[in-house]
């Protein structure tokens, strides 16, 4: 599975703790992240993380492009709902793309806990089926 990890500044520590706690699950998947978040997760866990630009510099849009190309399976985005973000339109566009392309999106620790356990239990077989069918039709 291809998983994006994103966190606003005030949520970076939380996503690092999350990645550290679930390193054994995340290590079995292909990880992507916006700039600083990816760097900090990689440094804290040793996980391989493909990094995009930081969110305000286009990272959200780069992940959105992967979603639109059907090259992303899950987005874990620890948002800070109490702080105005200068790139809010990019964040909204990313979330809209998740809805359009049926990509699971969680925006807080509680949702991420449920999603990571679903991933561990194999509840994402439907994403693999979509990919298999897509490959057959190409």
Q: Which two tokens stand for residue 41?
A: 């997760």
Neighbours of 30 (CB within 10 A): 14
- 60, 73, 90, 99: which is the annotated catalytic residue? 60
Is 60 among the residues known to form the active site? yes
Length of the chain equals 138
Q: Which residues pair with 76 in a beta bridge?
A: 5, 106
Q: At 104, list the tokens.
A: 């699971």
Please give the positions annotated as active site: 60
């Amino acid at each position: 599975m291809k998983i994006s990890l994103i966190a606003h500044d005030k949520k970076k520590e939380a996503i690092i703790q999350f990645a550290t706690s679930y390193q054994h699950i995340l290590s079995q998947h292909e990880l992507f992240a916006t700039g600083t978040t990816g760097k900090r997760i990689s440094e804290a866990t040793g996980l391989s993380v493909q990094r995009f630009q930081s969110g305000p510099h286009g990272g959200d849009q780069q992940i959105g492009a992967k979603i639109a190309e059907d090259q992303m399976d899950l987005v874990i985005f620890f948002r800070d709902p109490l702080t105005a973000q200068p790139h809010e339109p990019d964040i909204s566009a990313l979330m809209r793309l998740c809805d359009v392309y049926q990509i699971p999106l969680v925006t807080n620790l509680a949702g991420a806990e449920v999603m990571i356990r679903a991933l561990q239990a194999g509840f994402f077989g439907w994403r693999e089926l979509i990919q298999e069918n897509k490959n057959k039709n190409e």
